[in-house]
């Protein structure tokens, strides 16, 4: 039985990763934000410890790692969206909210008496920026917003720190993740909740294409990456249009197609795809679920249980 530490373990992906390791019989330590106080089904497990602390509190972090050895670290804590602010407060906040916590967690893990055997940190294909295309890890990343910029800075920091770390450290650049329990602030979740309920959804840019990956594939990929170094796109390499996404949900739910309203943007469609050739070559693995299979699986889970709203913390 391994001891797994997950920062942002109370967020969307973090909850699924936590459940996966608990289901495999491993002990899990979740580091959650102090203000994210809400009940969790998984917290009833005897194998789970939930610690609520500020990741910028280095003394508290050091105490966690020196208390008992940790075998693997997954750093998923990040602010999923940062709205632009006139005073550029979004850029300022990204330092303390995204970059500094990463460095603090990596440093605490490295200085522990028995360092972990691996460190995996979640990045995002938002690091590639708003240019159109299919991007591999060798392509130049050029984000133009605080969120992607802070994550890209974290990628560079972890790469630069690698020679000083006593464990292999990896950044998994995640495609746009969807699945059970996701906030309806994200289009896939909103479609799956609102359309069966008879509520209208407007898609402003229906021909935009995005690489979408189910959270179960993300969890499986993160576990595969653990213990390996470097940067890797965790993606499908396929980018359906937002119209395709809506039509898939409509077909699987039997909802009225008239509930979806499509905008007519003036410019060309935006396309963002993360090439997953490195994932396939290095791990001999790739995501298993098609978009239709992933949506179907999500709908089946959501029908069986109350919706789990994610409040703060975690990565999407």
**CA distance to 139, 258, 316, per residue, from 250 (Å):** 36, 10, 23
Residue 308, domain member (yes or no):
no
Q: Is the pLDDT of residue 295 over 70?
A: yes
Residue 33, domain member (yes or no):
yes
* Domain tally, the chain: 1
CATH number for the domain that contains residue 128: 3.40.50.720
Quote the pTM value: 0.93
The DSSP secondary structure of 106-169, one letter per residue, reads HHHHHTSSS--SEEEEEEEGGGGBS--EEE-TTSPPB--SHHHHHHHHHHHHHHHHGGG-SS-E
pLDDT of residue 304: 79
Structure tokens at 196: 């069966």
Residue 121's pLDDT band, with cuts at 50, 70 and 90, is very high
Distance of CA 115 to the CA centre of its chain: 24
Residue 304, domain member (yes or no):
no
Residue 208's pLDDT band, with cuts at 50, 70 and 90, is very high
Contacts of 303 (CB under 8 A, 6+ apart): none
Residue 67 belongs to domain spanning:
3-181+212-235+273-288
Q: E strand or H helix at 27, and its extent? A: strand 27-32
- Lowest-pLDDT range of 71-80, 117-126, 251-260, 282-291: 71-80
Compute the distance between CA of residue 272 and CA of residue 232 in angstroms, rounded to an integer.
16
Backbone φ, ψ for residue 234 (5° rounding): -105, 95
Residue range 146-192, pLDDT digits in tens: 999 999 999 999 999 999 999 999 999 999 999 999 999 999 999 99
Structure tokens at 214: 């189910």
List alpha helices for 169-307, DSSP H: 187-194, 215-225, 242-253, 277-283, 291-304
pLDDT of residue 43: 54
Which letter does DSSP use for residue 214 in this model? E
Check residue 295 and give left, alpha or beta (phi > 0: left; psi -120 to 50: alpha): alpha
SS3 50: strand
Residue 193, domain member (yes or no):
no
Structure tokens at 263: 């905008």
Residue 155's nearest CA partner among 130, 115, 133, 122 is: 122
Percent over 90 (pLDDT), the chain: 83
Structure tokens at 265: 């943007």
Residue 314, domain member (yes or no):
no
Structure tokens at 225: 């990456």
Cα end-to-end span (Å), the chain: 28
Give me the count of residues in the chain.
316
Residue range 9-42, pLDDT digits in tens: 999 999 999 999 999 999 999 999 887 655 454 4
The DSSP secondary structure of 30-48, one letter per residue, reads EEE-TT-----GGGG-TTE
The DSSP secondary structure of 268-304, one letter per residue, reads PPPEEEE--HHHHHHHS------HHHHHHHHHHHHHH
Residue 207, domain member (yes or no):
no
pLDDT of residue 316: 35
Residue 244, domain member (yes or no):
no
């Amino acid at each position: 039985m391994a001891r797994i530490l997950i920062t942002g373990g109370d967020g969307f992906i973090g909850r699924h990763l936590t459940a996966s390791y608990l289901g495999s019989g491993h002990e899990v330590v979740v580091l959650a934000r102090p203000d994210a106080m809400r009940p969790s089904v998984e917290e009833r497990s005897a194998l789970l410890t939930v610690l609520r602390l500020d990741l910028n509190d280095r003394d508290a972090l050091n105490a966690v790692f020196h208390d008992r050895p940790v075998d693997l670290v997954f750093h998923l804590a990040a602010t999923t969206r940062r709205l632009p602010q006139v005073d550029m407060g979004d850029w300022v906040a990204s330092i303390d909210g995204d970059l500094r916590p990463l460095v603090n967690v990596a440093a605490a893990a490295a200085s522990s008496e028995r360092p972990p055997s691996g460190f995996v940190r979640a990045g995002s294909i938002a690091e590639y920026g708003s240019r159109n295309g299919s991007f591999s890890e060798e392509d130049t990343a050029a984000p133009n917003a605080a969120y992607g910029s802070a994550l890209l800075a974290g990628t560079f920091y972890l790469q630069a720190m690698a020679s000083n770390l006593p464990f292999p450290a990896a950044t998994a650049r995640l495609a746009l993740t969807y699945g059970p329990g996701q906030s309806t602030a994200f289009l896939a979740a909103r479609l799956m909740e609102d359309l069966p309920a008879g509520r209208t959804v407007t898609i402003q840019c229906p021909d935009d294409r995005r690489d979408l990956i189910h959270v179960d594939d993300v969890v499986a990929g993160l576990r595969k990456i653990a213990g390996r170094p470097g940067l890797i796109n965790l993606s499908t390499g396929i980018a359906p249009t937002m119209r395709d996404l809506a039509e898939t949900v409509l077909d699987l739910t039997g909802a009225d197609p008239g509930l979806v309203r499509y905008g007519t943007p003036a410019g060309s469609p935006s396309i963002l795809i993360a090439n997953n050739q490195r994932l396939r070559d290095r791990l001999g693995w790739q995501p298993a679920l098609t978009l239709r299979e992933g949506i179907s699986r999500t709908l089946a889970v959501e029908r069986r249980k109350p919706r789990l709203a994610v409040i703060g913390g975690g990565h999407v």
